[in-house]
Chains A and B, each alone.
Chain A
Amino acid sequence: MRQKLINGLVGIFVAMLLGAGVMVMQGYQPIETYLALFNYSLGNWYSIATTLRNSVPLVLTGLSASVAFASGPVNLGQPGQLLMGALLATVGGLYLDLPPAMLLPILIFLALLGGALWSGVAALLRYWFNMSEFITTLMLNMIADFFTYWAISYWFFDKAAYSPMTPPINQNGWMPEWGDFNTSVIIMFIAVLVVWFIFTRSLAGYEWRISGQNNLFARLGGVEIDRNYMWVMLLTGALAGLAGGLVVLAGPHRFIKDIGANYAWDGVMIAMVANNGIVATLLYGLFFAILQTGALGMELITAVPSELIMVIQAVIVLVVVAGRGYLEILASKLAERRKMRERAI
């Protein structure tokens, strides 16, 4: 635990140091810039509420990737699953007219369904034809991207708009706000809790974890690999779809082009840097949200382009993951030396 924490902090420190180096080279003030960044994302209640809301898609797609990678399936289809979830939730919000207490759960269910359907396609291709989900999910991402683009340009196009987008959804389907806080954050925490419970406390989760660690052992122990594979793909797809649905319900309340931004790939990075741990995914997801929210403030106040944060994120991932491998080797060496010394006495 302590080793993980040190590793993470060192990685973040090194990445920010490199970022500072880039800033100095281009003539910006690094300390002032970082202060602006954290002030904008954590400075007051409103900033914290914004950061929390921005963390929703990051944490949920990160969770999706974490559960998938830890259980075996290389589901890289979060971008497409997110878009399909967002589309289905939007369509539901456009055509259903119900009171909020009924509409909200239905829209959230539609978001889950949209993501699960799209990951289900990849899962079935694997199940029937043994096509590796690694490439099929990537291709399905591109297909979902163009499909949703088409849907919002023709099918559900808002005639009053100049660029491709749908009309706003029914107001009863908007995520309620408590002061500055959006309730999508609560859904996110519930999702994290449910997934944590399934993954670490239930029989199914145990089977997923051992299948991910040692597939042969799991199969010999009587785990039904295919069925578990299906469930993991559906669950992780649903989580990514939920991320997309909540982005629509909490934010612009309609499907705009590029609504998925880079959330899903950031989520994959978060899963990697968190080593597929559920709690670590939540923490890194929050941290990435702090960086991304603060990036806008950084740009406003110090004129450093917000895109710099994308570079810093990738560096954090590489440094933390490489450092983790190296620290493990180092730790085992130290333990060995200690054992030798004890034996000598």
Chain B
Amino acid sequence: MKIAIGLINGMITAATPILLAALGGTLTFYAGIFNIAMEGMMLAGAFFAVIGSYFFNSWLMGILFAVLASLVMAVIFILFSVVLKTDEFVTGIGLNLFALGATTYFLRQIFKVKGAFSGPGIVSVPNIEIPLIKDIPLVGEILSGHNLIVYLTLIITIWVAYLVFKTRFGLRLRAAGYNPTCLDTSGVPADRVRIWSLIICGALCGLAGAYLSLGYVTLFSENMSAGRGWISLAAVILVNGNPWGIALISLLFGFSDGLGLFLQRVLPSQFTSMVPYVATLIALFVYSIRRKETVLS
């Protein structure tokens, strides 16, 4: 029983950053932008979350810094891909490597360390105990006691689903992807909608980064996003952007991550670390088989 609860909690913890970044990615996906900069935005967020938290001794400042840093990345993306019309693929790869270089550089400049920085000065985002629910056996252990950002993520998932399918902005967002010329001629510049989608994506990736360095663990290490941005991109592509589908897929990846930790008792850690990436390949495989069947029928 304890193992099951541990697995479920591990699943929720590991799913959160992927889900947050993927929700941002889905907005740009609907807006017709090939956005692969989530990885870099997350990394920048993770680093500046530590900066904010360390220098102001407050996790709130950490989150604020993370979101701001990630927004700066989003603004650079907007400048290049929307304003200057640079290839989105090149912009994304360039930004990811820019984030990697800049965080490594500042890690050395500001904290004088290589590799990783942790210290008692970093204030992590608190866990929340929900009154009443936490006293229910089993359910309480699963639903209560998670990080604040985990609950925020739940709210954001609902908000994004509402935003995309039920609001005027959502309609324009999807139109910007389906037929930008049509949107332009109806008096709404498609570029403006795209810029907003990127800004929201930046904020969400910043939050995901803050969760990595202030929630999941309380430290920053070089390249700590470790491919999560790419996995979230895979999640978006797999379910064609549907926010609920993304939530489900993220939980699946989270489960595979937890499973990897659990398997460490029998396998070398190098193999268990592979599990989420192998799971992504399997998910892509299932998706391709299913698509083939729908084409045939």
Question: Which residues of A pack against B, CB within 8 Å?
Answer: 26, 74, 125, 129-132, 135-136, 138-143, 146-147, 149-150, 153-154, 262, 265-266, 268-269, 272, 305, 307-311, 313-315, 317-318, 321-322, 325-326
Contact = CB atoms under 8 A, between A and B. Distances in A.
A307 B292 contact: no
A310 B277 contact: no
B285 A142 contact: no
A307 B237 contact: no
Given A147-B270, A325-B86, A135 B280 contact: yes
A310 B281 contact: no
- Which of A129, A132, A318: most chain B CB closer than 10 A? A318
B97 A313 contact: yes
B91 A310 contact: no
A322 B97 contact: no
A131 B284 CA distance: 7
Contact of A150 (B105, B271, B281): B271
Contact of A314 (B84, B97, B237, B274): B97
17 contacts: A74-B89, A129-B288, A130-B292, A131-B284, A131-B285, A135-B237, A136-B284, A140-B281, A141-B227, A142-B226, A143-B274, A146-B271, A265-B93, A305-B109, A308-B101, A310-B101, A321-B90
A130 B293 CA distance: 13
Contacts of B289: 129
Contacts, number: 120
Nearest to A329: B85
- Which of A147, A154, A272, A311: most chain B CB closer than 10 A? A311
Nearest to B109: A305
Contacts of A265: 93, 97
Contact of B274 (A135, A147, A268): A147
B118 interface: no
B19 to A, nearest CB: 18
Contact of B98 (A131, A142, A318): A318
B288 A305 contact: no
Interface string B227-266: 1001001100100000000000000000000000000000
Interface string B273-292: 11001101100110011011
B142 to A, nearest CB: 29
B98 A314 contact: yes
Contacts of B98: 311, 314-315, 318
A152 to B, nearest CB: 10
Given A272-B90, A315-B98, A322-B86, A308 B105 contact: yes
Interface string B95-116: 1011011101100110000000
Contacts of A154: 268
B121 interface: no
B84 A326 contact: yes
Contacts of A318: 76, 80, 86, 90-91, 94-95, 98
B94 A139 contact: no
Nearest to B272: A146
Contacts of B87: 321, 325
A74 B270 CA distance: 27
A178 to B, nearest CB: 34
Contacts of A315: 98
A292 to B, nearest CB: 12
Given A129-B289, A150-B270, A322-B86, A143 B91 contact: no
Contact of B93 (A130, A135, A141, A269): A269
Contacts of B109: 26, 305
- Which of A130, A132, A141: most chain B CB closer than 10 A? A130
A146 B271 CA distance: 7
B214 to A, nearest CB: 23
A132 B288 CA distance: 9
- Which of B91, B105, B271: most chain A CB closer than 10 A? B105
Contacts of A308: 101, 105
A281 to B, nearest CB: 15
Given A135-B233, A139-B281, A142-B274, A305 B105 contact: yes
Contacts of A74: 89
